[in-house]
Amino acid sequence: MINAGNLVWLPLYALFYVAVMLFWTRVAARENGNHETYFSAGHSLSPWISALTLAAASLSGWFLLGGSAEIAARGFAQPGVLQAGIVLALPGVLFFKRMWFVGQRLRLSSQAELFRSYFDSKFLVVVSVVVAVVFAVGFAGLQLRALSELIGMLSGGMVSPLVASLFLGVVLFAYVGIGGMRAVGYFGVIQSVLAFTAIVGLAGFALMSSGGFAALNAGLQTLAQSPDGAGLFQVAGVIRFSAGLGRDAVMGHAETALTSLSVAMAFMGFQASPLAAKIVLSTRNANGFAAGQTWVMAGIVGGIIAFGMAIIGTAGLINPQLSLGGMLAQLQAASPWFMAWLFLGAVAGVQLLAGLGLLTAGEGLVRHIYKPYFHSSLSRVATVNLTRIVIALLALVSVLMQSLTPVALSALGALALPLAFQLWTPLLGITWLRWITPAAATVGVGFGIAGVLLTETMGYEVLSFLGLELPWGRWPWTIHSAAWGMAANIAAVLIISAITNRNAFGAEAQEARRFVQSTLRMGPRARVLGAAAWSVALAWIFLAVGPGLVFSNFAFGTVDASGGAWSVGMPSIWAWALLFWALGVGLIWFLSYKMEMASPYLMDIPAYEPPRTLHHDQTRVEGERLRKLVVTGALAFILVVLVAFSFGS
Amino acid sequence: MSTPNTERDLLVFSIWAVLGFAGLAFLLEGFTRDSYFVCLLGTALIVAAFVAHIIVNFLFQQGFRPGETVLGIGAFGVLTFTFIAGVLSGSMSMVDYYSGLTLFSILIVGFIAYLSTRHGLRGAFSRFHVKTAVSEDSGR
């Protein structure tokens, strides 16, 4: 039974959180001039603010809520997760600097605009917006749901999960709706430090409760001696040719080295998502990307994941009473002030991601879809106000789905990262690979999405509902949907780039290509180091998250039915992960600075002046377009219902 | 545009959100467990928050804002009142008593040290000395 006095602390700290949120929302709204710089903070966020918010949004609550639960349930069988800090930094190093330069030259503020200007592709614009919506409603909604349930548990049932998720939704809307991107950036700094502190604090509590690091590893040793215990500390080979989850049972456990590699690819999707692009394009200059990716993302976030998340998960693995929920409940009873403070950190991390997602999705739906295609005469003020309404609606949908359709929410949330990963190919086209043509980028992403949907729960459940049973389940051959999608994506990009005109780019794309080529040319030293960079990066990927993970089973000791003979006092697989995290920080530093891929580069970038064109009144055409959309939507709905009624189960 | 003032304020908020709240939590934990060591850890964290705040002020070439001063003095007043009330009610343990005294001593010594190093001993006194206006033509 929880002491009534202990229940006071969480609302008290929540009140403080809301007060700080309102303060920064007010500051942001005043600096915005209400609507003038609502969407991208006037491209004026400091590089250190961007670096922190990017890192915390990437970390979000997933690693605390999902990552630690994964280790608590399945041990270290998927060690690629422990390299998340490095694999999140890799795409940042690859894309951000060049993306920022193109965005600054063409004065763009979002990924959808980037795709429209460079590839002139409506499909890519829609995909970018859909990915943002999936992140805002599905991915963040899933984490908010987990938090709401924890609030319900911590309040002793006094606050229901529905009320908790409504409260979290209202807080989200309050600062995103009023303060826009600037509020996301400013409040994001405080949310970031709170989120980092929460994981470190909870890891410290987990260590103390377990009796210290040595006792924790002794507990793992005992666990290794239990029947099937060895499997918790081993990767199950390179690949298993199974039909996938839900279709085929795999002998032993199903986490292979390729599962780790493909999950790492999914993580890489976040940095290619419209959410990350939103922060990058709202930044004042490109001077902070190297430091942000090397020290904040790979160093701090990577360390927090490899140590903190692993310790929290391990404590839960040894003693289920010390799983995240159990640990918070214990803290609630013994030290409610600590519990409130640390729990608020978890809330802050998830809200940062959700707020960024809502803003990007709201902007995408209104500014990049509704306004250009259905209402081009919409004023700036009306655009901002409509975006606020859409943000409120998206937050409401998320709250309702958390409560009413948790299974659908879970399936939707699982799509966010693999879908975002499919945007790698168009981003590579914009930043590095000039031979990727607009047609190839568009078709590639289409194939990639199909690949993801056909190997994820959402896809085969929908097809099953319509009467079509796929012969495989989720993640066939123990490979995550992100990799299946990318395989289809790359195949399409290579074939179509080979057969389409490589010079078929519009004026803005030509300008972006010329600008990047002329300003970001690699220096002679970086060119000399090119081969070394490729070798080191590929070797790291192979050994840290790829097939080389099988070496981690025995590199620092062995584990079998008689227990673990660990030469460094901890499971070999965990020691391997820590070693490659440290090497990974070095790799990111090398790529960022020595290879100049994200190195600071200060220059004034004048805006590109496009040729003037005549604007015609589009009102009638847009009205007609809207009517067609409504009719098509209605017909599609009827068709789906008829098919489901005829063939569905 | 995010101004240096905004960035300074963000850093100050972040410092207190982490170190300040950690310090408060350790103090409360120490009082509950009747542990002087844990209370001392809390006090050290609060001092660390002040030091970090002063470093940020130095980096941004600013002093404490009026709002921050009011909040600090107000919090100090509330703490003092609570401490005195605790002593008078006789419900405090010796650990509570010494922990409170340690916190107040460090805060007061730190406050004087800060003013002395920032304004000099004479200048520090002048911060509290009310200057009466003397008109130019008063003849004296």
Backbone angles phi, psi at A283, to 5 degrees: -85, 145
B87 in contact with A at a CB cutoff of 8 Å?
Answer: no
Check whether residue A593 and residue A640 sit in a common domain. Answer: no
Backbone angles phi, psi at A34, to 5 degrees: 70, -65
Check whether residue A597 and residue A621 sit in a common domain. Answer: no
Check whether residue A190 and residue A289 sit in a common domain. Answer: yes
Report how far residue A319's alpha carbon sits from residue A609's, in angstroms, rounded to the nearest whole number. 63
Read off the pLDDT of residues A95-109 as tens digits, 9 standing for 90 and up.
999 999 999 999 999
Instruction: Work out the minimum CA distance from B3 to partner chain A, whole angstroms.
Output: 9
Confidence band, pLDDT 50/70/90 cuts, at residue A458: confident
Give the domain extent around B80. Answer: 4-124
Read off the pLDDT of residues A31-48 as tens digits, 9 standing for 90 and up.
988 677 899 999 999 999
Backbone angles phi, psi at A202, to 5 degrees: -65, -35
Instruction: Work out the minimum CA distance from A335 to partner chain B, whole angstroms.
Output: 7
Assigned domain for B136 exists: no
Check whether residue A572 and residue A436 sit in a common domain. Answer: yes
Assigned domain for A610 exists: no
Assigned domain for A517 exists: yes
Report how far residue A235's alpha carbon sits from residue A554's, in angstroms, rounded to the nearest whole number. 10
Report how far residue B55's alpha carbon sits from residue A187's, in angstroms, rounded to the nearest whole number. 22
Read off the pLDDT of residues A259-277 as tens digits, 9 standing for 90 and up.
999 999 999 999 999 999 9
Which residues of chain B lie closer than 8 angstroms to A22, CB-CB?
none
Which residues of chain B lie closer than 8 angstroms to A31, CB-CB?
1-2, 6
What pLDDT was estimated at residue B140? 45
| DSSP three-state, residue A565 | strand
Report how far residue A469's alpha carbon sits from residue A648's, in angstroms, rounded to the nearest whole number. 10
Looking at chain B from residue 29 to 68, which residues have their Cβ under 8 Å from any Cβ of chain A?
Answer: 29, 32
Which residues of chain B lie closer than 8 angstroms to A193, CB-CB?
14, 17-18
State the CB neighbour count (10 A cutoff) for residue A272.
26
What pLDDT was estimated at residue B110? 84
Assigned domain for A3 exists: no
A41 in contact with B at a CB cutoff of 8 Å?
Answer: yes
Which residues of chain B lie closer than 8 angstroms to A187, CB-CB?
none
Read off the pLDDT of residues A250-260 as tens digits, 9 standing for 90 and up.
555 578 999 99
Kindly report the CATH number assigned to the domain that includes residue A281.
1.20.1730.10
Highest mean pLDDT among A57-66, A416-425, B79-88: A416-425
Q: What does the radius of gyration of chain A's CA atoms come to, in whole angstroms? A: 24
State the CB neighbour count (10 A cutoff) for residue A182.
30
Closest CA in chain B for residue A30 = B1
Assigned domain for A7 exists: no
Partner-chain residue, chosen from A44, A49, A190, that has the shortest CB–CB distance to B17: A190
Report how far residue A279's alpha carbon sits from residue B22's, in angstroms, rounded to the nearest whole number. 29
Amino acid identity, residue A105? R
Q: Do B25 and A338 touch (CB under 8 A)?
A: yes
Query: Kind and range of the H or E element at A430?
Result: helix A424-431
Integer angstrom CA distances of residue A229 from A67, A239, A275, A554: 20, 21, 40, 15
Check whether residue A452 and residue A579 sit in a common domain. Answer: yes
| Average pLDDT over all residues of chain A | 90
| Proportion of chain A above pLDDT 90, given as a percent | 63
Assigned domain for A24 exists: yes
Check whether residue A163 and residue A190 sit in a common domain. Answer: yes
Q: Which residues contact A214 (CB under 8 A, 6 or more apart)?
A: A569
Check whether residue A493 and residue A631 sit in a common domain. Answer: no
Assigned domain for A129 exists: yes
- For A304, what's the count of Cα atoms within 13 Å in the CB-facing half-sphere? 27
Assigned domain for A392 exists: yes
The count of domains in chain B is 1
From the list A202, A188, A184, the residue with the least C-alpha distance to A55 is A188
Instruction: Work out the minimum CA distance from B15 to partner chain A, whole angstroms.
Output: 9
From the list A300, A19, A353, A20, the residue with the least C-alpha distance to B14 is A20
Range of lowest pLDDT (A236-245, A306-315, A531-540, B127-136): B127-136
Check whether residue A248 and residue A270 sit in a common domain. Answer: yes
What pLDDT was estimated at residue A497? 94
Instruction: Work out the minimum CA distance from A1 to partner chain B, whole angstroms.
Output: 19
Q: Do A190 and B24 touch (CB under 8 A)?
A: no
Backbone angles phi, psi at A109, to 5 degrees: -125, 5
Across the A:B interface, residue pairs with CB atoms under 8 Å apart total 55
Do residues A125 and A457 lie in contact, with contact meaning Cβ atoms separated by under 8 Å? no
Check whether residue A509 and residue A634 sit in a common domain. Answer: no
Partner-chain residue, chosen from B6, B14, B22, that has the shortest CB–CB distance to A190: B14
Check whether residue A358 and residue A226 sit in a common domain. Answer: yes
Check whether residue A227 and residue A101 sit in a common domain. Answer: yes
The count of domains in chain A is 2
- Assess whether pLDDT exceeds 60 at residue A7: yes
Give the domain extent around A353. Answer: 12-41+49-604
Assigned domain for B139 exists: no
Do residues A583 and A544 lie in contact, with contact meaning Cβ atoms separated by under 8 Å? yes
In a mutational test of the B interface, the residue from A50, A190, A284, A332 whose CB has the highest number of chain B CBs within 10 Å is A190
Q: How far is CA B118 from the centre of its chain?
A: 15
Integer angstrom CA distances of residue A477 from A249, A480, A492, A645: 11, 9, 22, 33
Range of lowest pLDDT (A86-90, A230-234, B1-5): B1-5
- Assess whether pLDDT exceeds 90 at residue A190: yes
Read off the pLDDT of residues A118-150 as tens digits, 9 standing for 90 and up.
999 999 999 999 999 999 999 888 888 889 998
Instruction: Work out the minimum CA distance from A309 to partner chain B, whole angstroms.
Output: 19
Q: Do A20 and B2 touch (CB under 8 A)?
A: no
Q: Do A335 and B18 touch (CB under 8 A)?
A: no
